[in-house]
Amino acid sequence: MRNFINLKDISAKNLRKILNDAKKRKNRRKKLSTIDVDKDHPLKGKLLIQMYEKPSSRTRLSFHISINQLGASSITVKANELHLGKGGESLADTAKILSTYGDGFLLRTDSDKKIDDFSKNLKIPIINLLSPSSHPCQVLSDIFTIEEIKKKPISKLNICWIGDCNNVLNSLIAASVKFNFNLNIGCPKNYSPPKFVMNWVKKNKRRVNVFNDPKKAAKNADVVFSDKVFSLNDKGNKSKKIEDFKNYRIDTKLMRVTRADSIFLHCLPRGNEVSEEVFLGERSRVWQQALNRVHVQKSILLYSFGKLR
Ligand code: CP
Ligand code: NVA
């Protein structure tokens, strides 16, 4: 049993194994429909419990499909429907109950501490569906999408992030260390990645490049990523933050400094950080990106159950 909480805590070898497995499984499903179960139904008989403390469209639906395709069952609960959410039951007792009924727990939360506390109290694996500090399923799946489109290892590509230094970027930074790729970040001065993240990069003898000029960050990029300026866990002044990012919008003009065959990715939902032309344009691969979450998350689940081949 293995948790999947943060990319930085998983070995590069295991992350690569997850991607290889996802590729094989995706290829084998070409003739199957969304609800068909994989022929080997590797998680038959298992119950996965998903809990959301924050809104979700893609993660909730794609995990439901991933779980079904593995032959397992899922139940989705909202935190405020449980006694835990209303403060009427401790986390330790809730974890005991989850471990009694379920085989795996998938959690989207606004508290990194809660994931940590659950991981200490559960007897079943926990998977992080997005926390204030990371979004590991999203980013691992995005690496898969990039390699699928570019048909080469991500270590041979220039990856660029324009936007807020948030949970998705933290996971992308962790991925840049694990998969050894070049990462440029374009953000305003006061929005650089947190010190603990940069220190971790340094400790691992890698570097990411931070620019306060979006054009410099995007120059020669093979892939440009962005995300909402104001995340679900943001509590500050929304209009001020959006104003601070006004020169970091991804538009056709900015995409011109990237490589001729560059692509645009966005985890969604989107805000005003990308123009309609780029988001719906020929370089955008956002729908393929969303779909691939189904495939990669299956292999993440198999990793957690020690069933990766
Ligand atoms: N990208 C992503 O995690 O989307 P949801 O918030 O809709 O799950
Ligand atoms: N950074 C965003 C990602 C949403 C999928 C957020 O945390 O709201």
Q: Sketch the domain layout of the chain as residue ranges.
A: 7-135+293-304, 136-289
Looking at CATH, the fold of the domain delimited by 7-135+293-304 is given as Rossmann fold (3.40.50)
Pick the atom of ligand 1 nearest to 55's CA: 6
Ligand with the closest atom to the CA of 62: 1
Q: How far is the CA of 138 from the centre of ligand 2 (A)?
A: 10
7-135+293-304 and 136-289 have identical folds: yes
Q: Give pLDDT tens digits for 217-268.
A: 999 999 999 999 999 889 889 999 999 999 999 999 999 999 999 999 999 9
**128 in ligand 1 pocket by Cβ < 6 Å?**
no
Q: Which ligand is nearest to the CA of 137?
A: 1
Q: How far apart are CA 27 and CA 11, in angstroms?
A: 25
For residue range 153-190, list pLDDT tens digits in order.
999 999 999 999 999 999 999 999 999 999 999 999 99
| β-sheet bridge partners, residue 49 | 75, 105
**pLDDT tens sequence across 296-307:** 999 999 999 999
Query: Is 136-289 in CATH node 3.40.630.30?
Result: no
| Its pTM surpasses 0.85 | yes
Q: According to the model, what pLDDT value does residue 85 have?
A: 82
Residue in the structure block whose two tokens are 């471990």: 99
Ligand 2: residue whose CA is nearest its atom 2 = 231
Residue 16 has pLDDT above 90, yes or no: yes
Question: Would the pLDDT of 309 be above 90?
Answer: no
Q: How far is the CA of 231 from the centre of ligand 2 (A)?
A: 5
Q: Of the bound ligands, which one is closest to the alpha carbon of residue 52?
A: 1
CB 267 within 8 A of CB 57: no
The pLDDT mean for the chain works out to: 96
Q: Which atom of ligand 2 is nearest to the CA of 58?
A: 5
What are the pLDDT digits (tens) for 59-98? 999 999 999 999 999 999 988 889 998 889 999 999 999 9
> What pLDDT sits at residue 79?
85
Q: Please classify residue 37 by burial: count the beta carbons closer than 10 Å to its beta carbon, then call 0-12 exposed, 13-18 middle and 19+ buried.
A: middle
Ligand 1 geometric centre to CA of 38 (Å): 24
Question: Which residue type is seen at 265?
Answer: L
Max Cα-Cα span within the chain: 57
Q: How far, in Å, from the CA of 7 to the mean position of ligand 1?
A: 18
Q: How much distance in Å is there from the Cα of 55 to the middle of ligand 1?
A: 8
Cβ-Cβ contacts under 8 Å for 225 (sequence gap 6 or more): 142, 159, 160, 161, 162, 163, 168, 172, 264, 265, 266
